[in-house]
Amino acid sequence: MVNPLPNILVTGSTRGIGASITHALKHRALLIGHGRQDGPEVIGADLSDPAAADRLWDAALTRLDGRIDVLINNAGVFEATPVDAPLPDWQAAWARTMQINLQAAADLSRRAILHWRERGVGGRIVNIASRAAYRGDSPAHWHYAASKAGMVAMTKSIARGFAGEGILAFAICPGFTMTGMAEEYLASRGGDKLLADIPLGRVADPEEVARAAVWLALEAPASMTGAVLDINGASFVR
């Protein structure tokens, strides 16, 4: 029987925003998730390894019977690197963040495009970037902001370059989004002060980001390709 549901690979689906996305896609897609380690419905691949994204694509394709229709690049790290860190540590931190947040997403997007080309069909890529792409981030997170700005630029390049082949690309830029324990989360993002900067008066729920991701993955009009959606309680409007 032909499977009428789209096949979707979601990276970083084990928790946080990725877990909300897979939850919201349940019954609407055939899913394969991804995390650092193998698990039920999850392919393990450490994206800090430059070869891992390509292996993940192959494994996901096998698990989804040779067809992937939508790629959601959500996995990412937010790791502090102080400006006075020794140069080797500083450079290693930059390389790690760039590898996980940007290069792995690029490698997966590349495979997705080649896959859709080979099959002569279109497809969709949804990239979870960040408000930091436009606004910048803390003094210890330039590399994070740069990786997310790179992701936005990559999204727009894919949209412009491959729309003629029916390949669509979108990005979402969440602001603070409450994943995990509230206290731990707030502490990692600078404490209560962060709320003062959000006109909506609260950080986003992962479910709000997931709703936007699902809409882009399944429903957004093709003419929207290249669009970047902000989800930040008006803490940064552009």
Q: Which residues are catalytic?
A: 144
User: Judged by CB under 6 A, does residue 110 bind ligand NAD?
Assistant: no
Least distance to ligand NAD, CB of residue 181, Å: 11
Select from 6, 150, 174, 233 the one that contacts ligand NAD (CB under 6 A): 174
- CA 51 – CA 49 distance, rounded (Å): 5
Least distance to ligand NAD, CB of residue 236, Å: 11
* 3-state class (DSSP) for residue 142: helix
Which residue's structure tokens are 């707030």? 186
Which H or E run contains 158? Answer: helix 142-162
Specify the stretch interacting with ligand NAD by CB under 6 A; choose among 2-10, 13-21, 57-65, 214-222.
13-21
Which pairing describes strands 7-10 and 167-174: parallel, antiparallel, or unpaired?
A: unpaired
Which residue's structure tokens are 């609407």? 28
User: Judged by CB under 6 A, does residue 48 bind ligand NAD?
Assistant: yes
Specify the stretch interacting with ligand NAD by CB under 6 A; choose among 1-9, 75-83, 154-162, 214-222.
75-83
User: Judged by CB under 6 A, does residue 171 bind ligand NAD?
Assistant: no
Residue 151 CA: distances (Å) to CA of 99, 156, 204, 211? 12, 9, 21, 20
- Please give the residue ranges that form the binding site for ligand NAD (CB under 6 A): 12, 14-18, 35-36, 45-48, 74-78, 100, 128, 130, 174, 176-177, 179-180
